[in-house]
Amino acid sequence: MRMKYRRLLTLLLLGLFAVTAQAKKPNILVILFDDLGYSDLGCYGGEIDTPNIDGLAKGGVRFESFYNSARCCPSRASLMTGLYPPQAGIASFTTRNPDKRRGPAYLGRLNDRCVTLAEVLKPAGYGCYYVGKWHMHNETGPTQRGFDEFYGYMLAHSHDQWDADFYRRLPEGRKKEIDRKQGDFYATDVFNEYAVEFIKQGQKADKPWFLFLGHSSPHFPVQAPAASVDKYYEKYLRGWDKLREQRYERMKQIGLIDGDRWTLTERSLVPVDREDIANGFPGKPNPAWASLDRARQKDLARRMAIFAAMVEHVDRGVGKIVDHLKRTSDFDNTLIMILSDNGACYEWGPFGFDGTSRRGITTLHTGDDLRKMGGPGTHHSYGSGWSNLGNTPLRLYKHFTHEGGACTPFIAHWPEGIKTKGKWIRERGHLIDVMPTLRAAAGADYPRTFAGNAIQAEEGVNLLPAFNGKSLPDRPIY
């Protein structure tokens, strides 16, 4: 009789453990690129080496048509709140002095009628961590909007990835766990190291964790270690015309696009701006690569090689994160999302610019100066010709709500929650969908009020059914 009771008790305990394991909340990792083009990743047809992200795509799902808000801070506001940018208070850029005549949509910071992902996930039991670029105003910073720990910077783009003093650890008074000195500091790599560090902290807390990794790469100034840049230089001497054609063919081969439905557009127009900014091409198509003299081609190839190296360094960090998750048995129950805040950036003409943005200065680098590009203290962009490549086969760029400005790669990976591995999802998704999707995965509630304020209803839909082969409701997303 006792043996029967023991067996029954054992079975009950095993069942309890099984239910507990099944109900365990997933860890959540959101990785956001800055100014990555639609086809820059290898798993979207690009020639940049991104094997770790490609591996996640192979084991998860990719969206054909996933949309952002075409600019840095509006996209971040939408992604972070599940609302459209005007609803969150950041219809345009952040500002300390909002023009009241423009109304509350242009407040220039996150308003009090929205909640962040962290403010929703923390009550569901999550530890919340943020690494990298915030760009939703320093008066509504990450530790003021639900995140427990932060390392990165608050405003705009990273002005110098080699300057360790530009980056902050919050809350105030926190000692930097990773304190690389000048000369041994490269922000993209340090962001990746902090991602692993914060994951370790979350694991020690013995509760599910949410990490937002907001890389500044590959936003200008394009900067990367010279050794990483060198491997790409010869490749980009082939020029943007040939590489666009090659990307387009690879995109068809991997099943991303249908050649009958998706055509390779002509070279995009250079936006009309001041003549000194657009390199003499405002309102004209980007020039044919073959029309450029060899010195200009070498300068441009170096700029694009730096951009590619920045993307590769993000991917290397993804590899380190994945390795850590596998070693600690957290990989299978971690939901990972990878996307970009907007399309590739044209600023401001086909030859790029040097120095502070909008000054319109473009320097032709030659000889020994080529290899110095992208080093400490440098400030270059790669221009509209290469961003046209980045957005292959789409038209236009960041700033514009054409496909080239607002369509992003989107990858989701979660072995315990996504069963349709390696599939392309043809349903349309949007940044507003991230909030309801993460809520559903985490079992978190969306509040009607928060901190004494009425909260606007979320706008998006839960994407988890689409991750597993089901259809989403037909809806306008803009």
The model carries a pTM of 0.94
Q: How far apart are CA 273 and CA 65, in angstroms?
A: 29
What pLDDT, on the 0 to 100 scale, is given for residue 23?
63
Q: Is 345 a catalytic residue?
A: no
pLDDT tens per residue across span 100-143? 888 999 999 999 999 999 999 999 999 999 999 999 988 889 99
Report if residue 8 sits inside a domain: no
Q: Helical H runs in 346-430?
A: 369-372, 383-390, 403-406
User: Where residue 31 sits, what CATH number does that domain have?
Assistant: 3.40.720.10
Distance of alpha carbon 463 from the chain centroid = 18
Number of other residues whose CB lies within 10 A of the CB of residue 164: 18
Q: How far apart are CA 448 and CA 466, in angstroms?
A: 26
Report if residue 275 sits inside a domain: yes
Q: How far apart are CA 118 and CA 96, in angstroms?
A: 24
Q: How far apart are CA 299 and CA 68, in angstroms?
A: 31
Report if residue 333 sits inside a domain: yes
Q: How far apart are CA 45 and CA 251, in angstroms?
A: 5
DSSP symbol at 66: E
Report if residue 67 sits inside a domain: yes
Amino acid found at 220: F
Q: Do the Cβ atoms of 324 and 196 come closer than 8 Å?
A: yes
Q: Helical H runs in 380-459?
A: 383-390, 403-406, 434-442
Report if residue 476 sits inside a domain: no
Report if residue 399 sits inside a domain: yes
Angle, CA of 117, 118 and 120, to the nearest 5°: 65
| Residue-number span of the structural domain to which 65 is assigned | 24-467
Write out the two tokens for 375. 């080093």
Q: How far apart are CA 176 and CA 434, in angstroms?
A: 30
Q: Is 72 a catalytic residue?
A: yes
SS3 call for 198: helix
For helices 383-390 and 294-327, give the axis angle rounded to 10 degrees: 40
Report if residue 17 sits inside a domain: no
Give the count of domains, the chain. Answer: 1
Task: Give pLDDT < 70 ranges for the chain.
Answer: 1-23
pLDDT tens per residue across span 194-210? 999 999 999 999 899 99
The phi, psi pair for 380, rounded to 5°, reads -130, 155
Residues 6+ apart with CB under 8 A from 426: 64, 65
What pLDDT, on the 0 to 100 scale, is given for residue 260?
85
Candidate list 43, 73, 114, 135, residue with the active-site label: 135
Report if residue 478 sits inside a domain: no
Q: Do the Cβ atoms of 166 and 155 come closer than 8 Å?
A: no
Candidate list 43, 72, 114, 128, residue with the active-site label: 72
